[in-house]
Amino acid sequence: MNTLKTLTGDITRLVMDAIVNAANASLLGGGGVDGAIHRAGGPAILAACREIRQTRHPDGLPSGEAVVTTGGNLPARLVIHTAGPIYHSDPDPAGNLARCYRRCLELAMENQARRIAFPGISTGVYGFPKEAAARIAIGTIRDFFAEFPDAGMSVTLVAFSPADEEILLAHLR
């Protein structure tokens, strides 16, 4: 049985199989959730990201794609890094945001990560409207669950604030 829930909190403190990092294309850390994950996870995450840049994505992680690294010092075993779309400059922001969620769920399954937490991808400095992003995230996750009903995944959407959680809850109903 798959489950989907929300909470307001710090994604870096959650005990999960995997947490998702709303990364920038460089994979080398940044602000917001990305910076918090790199700081809390320690040097092992940055080292793994540097290796991915050198071997698989020398030009940076494309929007809508995702990669997996160790969780380093985090309570989560893995970090799934995804580069969300920059809303006002991406040619297909809705499609690329849906691809972010879908690809992260696929990588979670491939890595036997049944408990996964997502932040709001692209809803900070990347400017994606929170209502639309919530609708896309929840719709994509529900579509994935319908395709893989026996995956046994527990997905938590982690809100930055109670107001952000209310937006998510409105779309879960």
Structure confidence by residue, pLDDT tens digits, 132-167:
999 999 999 999 999 999 999 999 999 999 999 999
Give the structural domain span for 131. 3-172
Q: What is residue 92's predicted lDDT score, i.e. its pLDDT?
A: 97
pTM: 0.97
Q: What is residue 173's predicted lDDT score, i.e. its pLDDT?
A: 86
Cα angle, residue 15 at apex, residues 9 and 17 outer, rounded to 5°:
120
Residues of the chain falling short of pLDDT 70: none
Q: What is residue 18's predicted lDDT score, i.e. its pLDDT?
A: 98
Cβ(14)–Cβ(76) under 8 Å? yes
For all residues of the chain together, what is the average pLDDT?
A: 97
Is 34 an annotated catalytic residue? yes
- Of the candidates 17, 34, 90, 164, the residue annotated as catalytic is 34
Residue (of 71, 82, 63) closest to 23 by Cα position: 82
List CB contacts of 140: < 8 A, sequence separation 6 or more: 98, 101, 102, 105
Cβ(80)–Cβ(21) under 8 Å? yes
CATH of the domain at 120: 3.40.220.10
Domain count along the chain: 1
